[in-house]
Chains A and B, each alone.
Chain A
Amino acid sequence: DAGITQSPRHKVTETGTPVTLRCHQTENHRYMYWYRQDPGHGLRLIHYSYGVKDTDKGEVSDGYSVSRSKTEDFLLTLESATSSQTSVYFCAIIDLKETQYFGPGTRLLVL
């Protein structure tokens, strides 16, 4: 258990509404990641952070923004949700052995 929680765990929203997902970690890890997982695809990196206020884009960053104002929290925002953003979202950290560990995931349905 890497001390990672995600909230909410499930969310249903409508197209065009803003949505924010939260990832919280308790072990002071420097690196945090947001992935999405869809059937037939591997995990795809959306954004990652390498420190407070330090973030960078991943493979599928369009339509997403992130913020990290505290070490323990990494927020993912969908400014205007679309049906193509229906997915399972996982947050991850990297430990000192450079292994990624995942939070429990958030299932998002955009109607």
Chain B
Amino acid sequence: GQNIDQPTEMTATEGAIVQINCTYQTSGFNGLFWYQQHAGEAPTFLSYNVLDGLEEKGRFSSFLSRSKGYSYLLLKELQMKDSASYLCAVRDSNYQLIWGAGTKLIIKP
């Protein structure tokens, strides 16, 4: 079967750095996506990785290791508005997205 694993919940402090991990087992791999979802809202696109390595976009970075079936999302200089759920999704061999259940990130002052 296909499986995406991410921690259910994480807590971090405003101004700090947090790393959210995602491991996957899918039938084929055609890219990995990270989305942010605030409570009661739709997911919004954050990043896309298809090759191994780090992609940096402002305070957010995403890393991929295809050989390990592993990715992480790194959030720096945390702000209260970063409190949200972060969803990991892998595009499989059928070009469908397989979604993790999401990691709820709680930011404390």
Chain A interfacial positions (CB closer than 8 Å to B): 40-45, 48, 58, 90, 98-105
Q: A38's closest neighbor in chain B, by CB? A: B101
Q: Which residues of B contact A90 (CB under 8 A)?
A: 42-43
With an 8 A cutoff between CB atoms, is B4 at the interface?
yes
Residues B42 and A99 in contact, CB atoms below 8 Å apart: no
- Interface segment out of the listed B53-61, B71-79, B91-99: B91-99
Residues B42 and A105 in contact, CB atoms below 8 Å apart: yes
Q: Which residues of A contact B87 (CB under 8 A)?
A: 42-43
* 8 CB-based A-B contacts, threshold 8 Å: A41-B101, A42-B87, A42-B89, A44-B99, A98-B95, A102-B44, A104-B42, A105-B41
Question: Interface residues of B toward A: which range?
Answer: 20 to 34
Residues A101 and B45 in contact, CB atoms below 8 Å apart: yes
Provide the bound-state CA to CA distance between A43 and B99, in Å: 6
Per DSSP, chain B at the interface is: strand
Q: Which residues of A contact B101 (CB under 8 A)?
A: 40-42
Interface residues of B in 31-45 (CB under 8 A from A): 31, 33, 41-45
Chain B interfacial positions (CB closer than 8 Å to A): 4, 31, 33, 41-45, 48, 87, 89, 91, 95-102
Q: Which residues of B contact A104 (CB under 8 A)?
A: 41-42
Residues B102 and A42 in contact, CB atoms below 8 Å apart: yes
Partner of B96, one of A41, A42, A45, A103: A45
Provide the bound-state CA to CA distance between A98 and B89, in Å: 13
Closest CB of chain B to A50's CB: distance in Å? 10
Q: Which residues of A contact B41 (CB under 8 A)?
A: 104-105
Q: Which residues of A contact B102 (CB under 8 A)?
A: 42
Provide the bound-state CA to CA distance between A43 and B33, in Å: 13
With A99-B33, A99-B48 as contacts: A43 and B43 at CB distance below 8 Å:
yes
Closest CB of chain B to A22's CB: distance in Å? 16
Provide the bound-state CA to CA distance between A100 and B31, in Å: 12
